[in-house]
Amino acid sequence: MTTETQIIQRLRQFAADPAARGLLDDAAVLDGLVITHDSIAEGVHFLPFDPPASVGWKLVAVNLSDLAAKGATPAGALLSLTIVGDGEWETEFLAGIEASCESYGLPLIGGDTIALPDDSPRVLGLTAIGRAGDRVPHRSGGEPGDILWLVGTVGDSAAGLAQLQLDKRAAGPLVDTYRRPVPLLADGQALAQHAKAMMDVSDGLLLDALRLAEASGCAAEIALDELPLSNAFVTERGEGHGSRVFAATGGDDYALLAALPADLDPSTLSLPGGASITRVGSLGAGQPQLRLTSGGRPIELPETLGHEHRSSSAPPMAGRD
């Protein structure tokens, strides 16, 4: 079985241009532009009964989250649209695309459309282009001694998805977070000026923290008991060990994970009003690996750190990278 990681390793053999950043990041940097592309697939990233407009919103938002992790300002987008059936679904989907683009100042400047046979699962893609700021943090810039900070919370989207899998009529703040994520663009622009490494959390905090550590050549430590959980999440699932592991591995969070110098106080940064930033761990010397603690003591890692796409038998409805 071929994993996503193995495919990316093959791609690295010829994606050698400096703009590709060694494919260690979620975006390329070319001539002052930050460029990213994400696809979402029916049954993997959205449910067949999800409202089409929310699917359109989500496609834009997940791409903008990659721009946020590089501190970029939205500049334009290209849409890849598959049409299945009579086009009614696509009309509603485009309303969501339009609403999200307007909300975040992202002009749609082109793309492509193709028609698929009836009953084909929809696979939709968007390329987002942003203007780079003075600094574009890489995943690979972290150093031993840096502190890992998380902007946002984890677990809400996975909890909302779980509600919908039990009852497709489920509603509430967790479902809203799953269907309409919010890219943290302003937060990313503020953090980019100081972050040694930064990425958005899309496939699960533990897996993405490991990816940052591997790119930076460091060990990473995450404090499970320090993870920020929303009131809605705690009300639905509690805040015990099992719930925290669920939140740390669920994916689809679109929070920002940043490695900041140990002497930097994040409260001095110009983060948007209401933004929450939480110390969740640190980077240390040694071989790239992930350690998990609770109450200051080491604990065993869960069997699954997050979602990694595989060529077959892929678990449905997981995070996106």
Q: What is the pLDDT of residues 124-137, one digit of tens each?
A: 999 999 999 999 99
CA distance 229 to 235: 10
Letter for the amino acid at 31?
A: D
Q: What is the largest CA-CA distance in the chain?
A: 58
At 211-226, the pLDDT tens digits run 999 999 999 999 999 9
Where in the chain do CATH 3.30.1330.10 domains reside? 4-131
Residue 315: band (very low, low, confident or very high) from pLDDT cuts 50, 70, 90: very low
Q: What is the pLDDT of residue 313?
A: 42
Structure tokens at 34: 């930050």
For residues 226-237, give the mean pLDDT: 98
**Is pTM beyond 0.85 here?**
yes
Tell me the chain's radius of gyration from C-alpha atoms.
19
Structure-model confidence comparison of residues 232 and 321, the more confident one: 232
Percent of the chain with pLDDT over 70: 96
Structure-model confidence comparison of residues 64 and 43, the more confident one: 64
Cβ 107 vs Cβ 73: under 8 Å: no
For residues 63-91, give the mean pLDDT: 96
At 262-281, the pLDDT tens digits run 999 998 888 887 789 999 99
Where in the chain do CATH 3.90.650.10 domains reside? 139-299
CA distance 159 to 157: 5
Half-sphere exposure of 203 (CA within 13 A, CB side): 21
Least confident window among 24-28, 55-59, 293-297: 24-28
Looking at domain 4-131, its CATH architecture is: 2-Layer Sandwich (3.30)
Q: At a CB cut-off of 8 Å and minimum separation 6, what does 210 contact? A: 220, 288, 289, 290, 305
The 8-class DSSP code of residue 315 comes to P
Least confident window among 115-119, 120-124, 315-319: 315-319
**Domain 139-299 CATH class label:** alpha beta
For residues 16-42, give the mean pLDDT: 90
Residue 317: band (very low, low, confident or very high) from pLDDT cuts 50, 70, 90: low
For residues 7-24, give the mean pLDDT: 84
CA distance 177 to 299: 29
